[in-house]
Amino acid sequence: MVRQDLRGRGIRDERVLDAMGRVPREVFVDRVRPSDAYGDRALPIGCDQTISQPFMVALMTEALGLEGDERVLEIGTGSGYQTAVLAELAREVVTIERHAALSEEAARRLDALGYFNIRFVVGDGSLGAPQGAPYDRILITAAAADCPHALWDQLREGGVLVGPFGSSASQWLEARRKRGDRVEVEYLVECRFVPFVVGES
């Protein structure tokens, strides 16, 4: 997976590649053969959600530009796979999931794997986690028409927010950097994510 689907498709951050090689993806998917868990495709995880393909996880993580001392807010815990990759690379991860069952299951998995720098929140991801703001990085793992204002407000000056934006017909993965009143946008790749749902489950 790392050699062919990540490095072979242009992922260059060695810390990201190492983290992707360490996190056991098969732990995060049910009813899938371990060998199939590493295919470069999204897989269903329940509650009409998916675990993103490895390349997309790596690309989103690389776009955050993590150096090791960041506090990261993740919107959409899902299976916890992306959360684990972030926890390998950042000082602290706060992750929000609207489905309590998914959040609880992810917490059990990640605790069993020995990740203790993660805080789990069940609630409306569009509201973020203001009690912990500001965050150095924010990662959104579901597609919204645009970035919710509350999340942008919780990003520190100079921080980076990565997420898919657009309609159900056309989405782009973007990296947005906060520069005072300006937003610097880098368009990374066309993509297709499950929709960002506002409100608790």
What mean pLDDT is reported for the chain?
A: 94
Q: Which residue has the higher pLDDT, 181 or 6?
A: 6
Domains of the chain by start residue, with CATH: 2-191 (3.40.50.150)
The arithmetic mean of pLDDT across residues 107-133, rounded, is 97
Is residue 201 scored above 60 in pLDDT?
no
pLDDT digits (tens, 9 = 90+) for 4-56: 999 999 999 999 999 999 999 999 987 777 778 889 898 888 777 889 999 99
| pTM exceeds cut of 0.85 | yes
Distance (Å, whole) CA 75 – CA 196: 9
Q: Does 2 have pLDDT greater than 70?
A: yes
Give the catalytic positions in this structure.
Answer: 52
Which of the four pLDDT bands, split at 50, 70 and 90, describes residue 159?
A: very high
pLDDT at 157: 97
Buried b (16+ CB within 10 A) or exposed e, 54-72: bbbbbbbbbbbbbeeebbb
Please say whether the dihedral angle defined by the alpha carbons of residues 20, 22, 26 and 27, taken in this order, is positive or negative: negative
Contact between residue 38 and residue 54 where contact means Cβ atoms under 8 Å apart: yes
Task: Pick the range with the lowest mean pLDDT from 44-48, 81-85, 109-113, 149-153.
Answer: 44-48
Strand partners, 193: none
